[in-house]
């Protein structure tokens, strides 16, 4: 299993996570994915990367610094995208149920990403 595969596998063990992907920030293409059946990875990857790029542009323009994390909360789920320096120009994207423990997802992602570095 690749290093990214291990990263996704660990994040996916958090209860409520439906899958995760490593996505190229610039073009929204999937580099590695581990998603439940039925999760439309390509479309979500493209849209989340676009949201992230927009957030980065907006907040940097306003002198708030570079966006590191974007979280989209929906009625019945959660999307989470992080751009840790260890991943370079890649995003870690997590798709989860609405009841997921967000803190746990973030903690696990941070742990694994730190191990990558």
Partner 1 sequence: MSATPQQVRQWSDEVAADPGSPAFRPLAEHYRDAGRPDAALRLVIRGLERHPNDVEAHHLLGVLYREGGELVKAFDEWDIALALDAEHFPSRRAIGLLLAERGELEAAERHLEKALQGDSFDPEIRAALEDIHVRRKDGRGRAGARGRPAPAVEEPPAAPPESLAAASAAPPAPAPAEVPAPVPAAPAAGGEFDAVEAELAALGNERGIIGAVVLDPQGFVIAGRMHVGDRDRGPEIAAVLSPSSAEAERAVRHLKMGGWKSILVETADAVVRLAPTPDGGMVAVAGRRDVPMGWVLRVAGRARDAAIRFLRASGGPA
- The contact set with partner 1 (CB under 8 A) reads 27-29, 39-44, 46-51, 54-55, 57-59, 61-79, 95, 98
Q: Which residues pair with 21 in a beta bridge?
A: 33, 93
Supply the minimum distance, in Å, between the C-beta of residue 60 and partner 1: 8
Q: What is the DSSP letter of 36?
A: -
Which is nearer to partner 1, 6 or 86 (by Cβ)? 86
Which is nearer to partner 1, 6 or 79 (by Cβ)? 79
Supply the minimum distance, in Å, between the C-beta of residue 83 and partner 1: 10
Q: Which residues lie closer than 8 Å to 54 by C-beta, 6 or more apart?
A: none
Tokens of 22: 């490593």
Which is nearer to partner 1, 6 or 24 (by Cβ)? 24
d(CA 1, CA 64): 38
d(CA 19, CA 35): 4
Which is nearer to partner 1, 14 or 28 (by Cβ)? 28
Supply the minimum distance, in Å, between the C-beta of residue 75 and partner 1: 3
- Among 43, 31, 56, 29, which residue's Cα sits nearest to residue 95? 43
Supply the minimum distance, in Å, between the C-beta of residue 18 and partner 1: 8
């Amino acid at each position: 299993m690749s290093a990214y595969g291990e990263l996704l596998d660990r994040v996916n063990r958090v209860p409520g996570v439906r899958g995760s992907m490593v996505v190229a920030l610039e073009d929204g293409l999937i580099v590695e994915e581990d998603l439940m059946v039925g999760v439309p990875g390509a479309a979500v990857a493209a849209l989340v990367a676009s949201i992230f790029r927009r957030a980065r542009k907006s907040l940097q323009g306003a002198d708030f610094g570079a966006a590191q994390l974007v979280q989209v909360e929906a009625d019945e789920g959660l999307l989470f995208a992080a751009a840790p320096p260890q991943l370079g120009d890649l995003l870690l994207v997590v798709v989860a149920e609405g009841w997921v423990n967000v803190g746990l997802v973030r903690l696990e992602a941070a742990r694994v990403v730190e191990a990558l570095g």
